[in-house]
Amino acid sequence: MTFAGRRILIVGAGLAELAGQAFRDATLQTAGLERLQARWAFGEAPDLILIEAGAFEPDALSTAIAALATGATPPPTLLTGDHLPAGLVRNLMRLPRSDVLEAPFSAADLAAASGPLVAPTAAPVLNAPSRCWTIMGAVGGAGATTLAIETACALAQRLPGPRRVCLIDLNLADGAAAAYLGAPANMLLSRASQAADRIDPQLLDAFVSGAPGGVDLLASARDPNAYDTTSADAVLRLLEVACQVYDAVVVDAPRHRRSWTLDVLAGSDELLVVSELTVPALLAARSLAAEIENDLPAGPQPRIVLNRLAKRVFGPAPSMAEAEKAMGRRAAGGITSDWEAAAASANLGGPISQHRPKSRIVKDVADLVDRLIAAPARSHPEDLRVA
Ligand SMILES: Nc1ncnc2c1ncn2[C@@H]1O[C@H](COP(=O)(O)OP(=O)(O)OP(=O)(O)O)[C@@H](O)[C@H]1O
Ligand SMILES: [Mg+2]
């Protein structure tokens, strides 16, 4: 196991020397207990936290570890020491990835215990077939289409094989998914609206186009009248059949409400509201999420994804914590800004995961998808509310 380029945070000065020997080509940083209680900016969390239990008073350490566990994605944590109190270990076990290393230990022991914690985990397997993920922008241009495409591709990687994931662009008048993917827009939904009950797997087949990234696409050609000529029955029947045929369906939903919007949302398993880090967008995300909760109390909990997170070099953008305060709720995830990757992929035609696989956007979407698969909205409605 190599630790090259890994960021390791050392809490407790007594560990620094041994860590220096164990992780020669990693970036080591030391900090006090208070660092565990602050949130990390997206992309800045350490890859591993090492804690020297003996350096701190047990209750204070226990509280700090409990605070660490409330973060969206707590880093893997290794606690070192002897005679560790049970309460402390219990709080440690609440972290998704943690372990204990009993003192005394050598640098080699430290490296051996750390290796499995930083090794990449196999992506969780999506085993519930026909999960429908709906993605909606809180404001225009927030990145809903981009994230719908990347989410569909991330799901396709977790569900290998043909005909597993379908991306449906319900921006019927001027959807952009086909253009972003460089794929044909073959869906003739307004024509099928005259006999919605005739929409079946064969007709779906005729509407579908294969898109790069292992995704099947259902998208219509530009048509300014499409919303007037497409019936709610046709939209809902299309979704129903797609969910029968595919293991996962991702919907790029229009922001403005249509006669079928609430039914589409009510039938979704995951509902992602995409916002950006500006005050108007956050307020719009807050209102949109509240409207959906109000109209669909038994529906999926809307989850807010903050897109185009940038370092604070371009003026006073809100921080994640300020954004969450403005929205009165937690964000389910954040996606780093990478204009080059997003523009290059759209210009070339295809997902960012294909043209710029190393972009942070790809990693952030993968992390979000894995988190949502591990904790589906319908069974954990309460854990995204800020108390
Ligand atoms: N994380 C990101 N980093 C950089 N650029 C991004 C990111 N996400 C999206 N973009 C860019 O932002 C612009 C708007 O994105 P997109 O079309 O996905 O938004 P949208 O919410 O679907 O817009 P609309 O309201 O028109 O449907 C595009 O140019 C896209 O490439
Ligand atoms: Mg869009």
Per residue, what are the HEC states of 332-378? EEEEECCHHHHHHHHHHCCCHHHHCCCCHHHHHHHHHHHHHHHCCHH
Provide the b/e sequence for 10-34 (b: ≥16 CB within 10 Å). bbbeebeebbeebbeebebeeeebe
Contact 150, 351 (CB under 8 A): yes
User: What gap in Å lies between CA 92 and CA 66, rounded to an integer?
Assistant: 7
In short, whether 314's Cβ falls inside 6 Å of ligand 1 is no
User: What predicted TM-score, i.e. pTM, was given to this entire model?
Assistant: 0.71
First to last CA, the chain: 41
- Ligand 1 pocket test: pick from 145, 306, 336, 348 the residue with the most ligand atoms within 8 Å of its Cβ: 145
Mean pLDDT (the chain) is: 89
User: What gap in Å lies between CA 239 and CA 204, rounded to an integer?
Assistant: 10
**Model confidence at 386: pLDDT above 70:** no
pLDDT in tens, 283-307: 999 999 999 999 998 889 999 999 9
pLDDT in tens, 110-162: 999 999 898 765 444 444 555 899 999 999 999 999 999 999 999 999 887 77
Separation of 170 CA from ligand 2 center, angstroms?
10
User: What gap in Å lies between CA 42 and CA 139, rounded to an integer?
Assistant: 22
- Residue 384 has a pLDDT of 38
**Structure-block tokens of residue 47:** 């890859």
User: What gap in Å lies between CA 156 and CA 247, rounded to an integer?
Assistant: 10
Left, alpha or beta for 111 (phi > 0: left; psi -120 to 50: alpha)? alpha
pLDDT in tens, 41-62: 645 778 899 999 999 999 999 9
Count CA atoms within 13 Å of residue 121 on its CB side.
13
- Residue 160 has a pLDDT of 73
Separation of 142 CA from ligand 1 center, angstroms?
6
Strand 165-169 to strand 131-137: parallel, antiparallel, or no bridges (unpaired)? unpaired
- Residue 94 has a pLDDT of 85
> What are the chain's domains?
7-118 (3.40.50.2300), 131-384 (3.40.50.300)
Q: Please, which pLDDT band fits residue 316 given cuts at 50, 70 and 90?
A: low
Q: Which ligand is nearest to the CA of 305?
A: 1
pLDDT in tens, 22-37: 999 899 999 999 988 8
User: What gap in Å lies between CA 313 and CA 290, rounded to an integer?
Assistant: 32
- Residue 143 has a pLDDT of 98
Tokens 């003026």 belong to 315
